[in-house]
Every structure is written in structure tokens, then in C-alpha cells.
A and B are shown apart, each in its own frame.
Chain A
Amino acid sequence: MPSDAVLREVTLTLPMSADMEVQASQSASALARSIAMSPEKIDEVRLAVVEACINAFEHSHAEDSQVDITFCVLGREDEPKALEIRVHDSGIGFSPDTVVEPSIADKLKATRKRGWGLKIIRGLMDEVEIDSSQHGTTVVMRKLR
């Protein structure tokens, strides 16, 4: 996948405000449709984008209160092979290795039932990478066509 070329790229900057994640998911959906991705895969990409945006909105504490999203069609010789989405915030960052994977049995007993975003993203996308530091976080997600 890394050797594939970027055939098309769309960038979007959104304010961290209510339901902006839906806007991002609609852009992802449009680009995925343009490469004839299956409706089921498009829905999976949409939800993964929603979750990545919500994580940025809720946890980044970014001073600029915005998220930058880059959608790339990857492939070779005009043949699309995958959709890559990068969701970037300029917040305080986190250590992905320290995030405890949630379980439904624990959550049913817990006061706080949230914390599912990364698990859902990893379950829906083919590849997920997280690059995070005190200068911000970038979640890179890829879905094969």
C-alpha cells in the first residue's frame, strides 16, 4: 500500500462543533462512491470517519478547535486500490499504547460507558495508524476498494 500513488486528494478543515463529523463522513462517502467502493464498505468508512472526528473533538483540546481531514485515493496507473483518510488535530496528543481496550462486560458495570471509538475504527477499517505527540494527533485509516 505505501508504494501506491495518490491518484486524487481532497482536504477539508472543519470546526469542532456539533455534528461536523457527519459533514466529514459525507465527504468520505462521496469520494468512496467515486471509486466504486461497495455500499457496505462506504458505510464502514463513514462510521470510522465519524469516530475519528469525535475523538478529536472530545479529547484533543486543540486550541484552534478545528480538525484537518485529508482524503486520498491510492492506486497505480489510474486504478484505484484504496481510500486513505487522515484525521489530524493540533491538540495535546495521547499515548495509544495506554488506551485500555473496552469490553462490554466491564462497561455494563462501569459508570462511564464510553471509550469505544478506537476499537470501532480498528474493527471497521483495513489499516489504522496513530501518530500522536504533544503537538497533535493524526489518525490514518485505509480501506481497500
Chain B
Amino acid sequence: MTETLRLTVDKRDGYAVLYTEGYINNQGGEEIARVAYDLIGEGYRGLLLNLAGTKIVNSIGISILIEVIEKMLEVNGKLGFCNLTPTIEKTFHIMGLAQYAGIYKDEAEASTGIKA
């Protein structure tokens, strides 16, 4: 049984929002990273991951998200997350991701913090 991640991108003024739907495992994480690196290549320095459609992120997927955080730090960009389930948010705090990436309640809250 495989849950394939679906990913859509909304490019906005100064930042881009990536909407996920499904399980973020190694394949899902790699897909997010591929799209994020393309956006960075296009000049975007603010990326927001809206995880409203994701109920589980495993540690392999999060490890790949850490690579994206590292890349964003290298280019002086900002990566944020919003619409997290309580468990995903708790997991991000357990891992300390909140020290290096913004965690927001929703897109409205994120929009001011994520713009580079």
C-alpha cells in the first residue's frame, strides 16, 4: 500500500507556497526538495509548506526537509510550515526544527513572516 504525495505550488509576490497532500516519506520528501530547489533556482527566498493535506511525516521525510532548511539558510532565505496537525507540530518541536524554520498556524499568519 503506497500513499503517493501530491504537491502543488502557488507562486506569489516574494514567496511560494507548496501544498502537500499525502504521506511525506522518503519519496515525498525528495519531491518536496526537488520542487523547493527549483524555486530557489528561480530566485524565491521565501518558501511556505502548507501541510494541511498531510497527516503523517516520517523521520526520513523530515530529514530531507532538514536538507531544504539547510539550503534555505545558505541562500539567506526563509522556510516556514503551516497548517500542521498537532502531532506533526509536536514532532517538529521534539526535533528542534522550530529553531530554524517558522511554524505558523495558517497562511495568513505565515505570509508576513515568510516574505524575504
Question: Are B70 and A114 in contact (CB-based, < 8 A)?
Answer: no
Question: Are B58 and A54 in contact (CB-based, < 8 A)?
Answer: yes
Residues of A within 8 A of B91 (CB): 47, 120, 123-124
Give which listed residue, A40, A104, A108, A117, contacts B59 with CB less than 8 A. A117
Nearest B residue to A112 via CB reads B63
A131 within 8 A of partner (CB): no
Nearest A residue to B25 via CB reads A19
Residues of B within 8 A of A67 (CB): none
Nearest A residue to B73 via CB reads A108
Instruction: State how many angstroms separate the Cβ of B115 from the closest Cβ of chain A.
Output: 23
Residues of A within 8 A of B41 (CB): none
CA distance A51 to B61 in the complex (A): 11
Question: Are B73 and A22 in contact (CB-based, < 8 A)?
Answer: no
- Looking at the complex, which of B8-16, B82-90, B106-114 is the stretch in contact with chain A? B82-90
Summed over the interface, the residue pairs from A and B with CB atoms below 8 Å come to a total of: 78
Residues of B within 8 A of A103 (CB): 96
Instruction: State how many angstroms separate the Cβ of A30 from the closest Cβ of chain B.
Output: 14
Give which listed residue, B25, B62, B90, B100, contacts A124 with CB less than 8 A. B90
Question: Are B62 and A108 in contact (CB-based, < 8 A)?
Answer: no
Question: Are A108 and B56 in contact (CB-based, < 8 A)?
Answer: no
CA distance A103 to B99 in the complex (A): 11
Give which listed residue, A18, A20, A40, A116, contacts B95 with CB less than 8 A. A116
Residues of A within 8 A of B94 (CB): 119-120, 123-124
Residues of A within 8 A of B96 (CB): 103-105
Residues of B within 8 A of A116 (CB): 59, 62-63, 95
25 pairs across A/B with beta carbons < 8 Å? Answer: A19-B1, A19-B2, A19-B25, A21-B58, A22-B3, A22-B23, A40-B86, A40-B87, A43-B85, A43-B87, A46-B87, A47-B56, A47-B87, A50-B56, A104-B96, A104-B97, A104-B99, A108-B69, A108-B70, A113-B66, A113-B67, A116-B59, A116-B95, A117-B59, A120-B94
